[in-house]
Amino acid sequence: MTGPSTLDTDAHELDLDKLSEDTRISKQTLVRWSDRGLIDAELAWGISDDNEEQRLIRITPRSLEFLQGFAEEYREDTVSRTEARRILKMIDRGQVQKLLRQGDLKSKKIEDETRVVIGSVEDYLMGLESDGEEA
């Protein structure tokens, strides 16, 4: 890790891939939350047992506990198609519509508005990440 850590000494250092799998929240979202200070965490690079570069996250026990409890509720929430485009970093509104038609994203009708299920957005992002694509 570079520079002094601002986290407590009891912070957990975890593999970002593993935390993403465990919480079923994409690495992109975890990094964004860390960068924005929504979770008390820092990102770093490390070397795995196989001598491969790996992305690490140092996270306080309190933030980790919150994240583990919040993840399922977050995944069940819904967002507007506009917000889904922002999360997916897509500008063309037709792209989200296409993903909905293909079944890559799930939606719910709430008060005559189509809302995108955030868990399906996270699953889509995690699929891109596991395929090595940039989301």
Q: Which helix (H) or strand (E) holds 117?
A: strand 113-117
pLDDT digits (tens, 9 = 90+) for 59-90: 999 999 999 999 999 999 999 998 999 899 88
Between the CA atoms of 109, 115, 120 and 125, what dihedral angle is there, to the nearest 10 degrees? 160
Owner of token pair 């989200």: 96
CA atoms in the 13 A half-sphere facing the CB of 81:
17
Owner of token pair 């979202």: 29
1 assigned to some structural domain: no
One domain, residues 96 and 117: yes
Assess contact for 34 and 58: CB atoms under 8 A.
Answer: no
How many domains are contained in the chain?
Answer: 2
Backbone angles phi, psi at 70, to 5 degrees: -80, -25
135 assigned to some structural domain: no
Owner of token pair 């506009």: 82
Tens digit of pLDDT at every position of the chain (135 positions): 444 456 667 888 999 999 999 999 999 999 999 999 999 999 999 998 889 899 999 999 999 999 999 999 999 999 999 899 989 988 788 899 999 999 999 999 999 998 999 999 999 999 999 887 544
3 assigned to some structural domain: no
**Host domain of residue 63:** 12-75
Q: Is the pTM above the cut of 0.85?
A: no
Last residue of a domain, one of 75, 92, 107: 75
What pLDDT score was predicted for residue 10?
83
One domain, residues 69 and 90: no
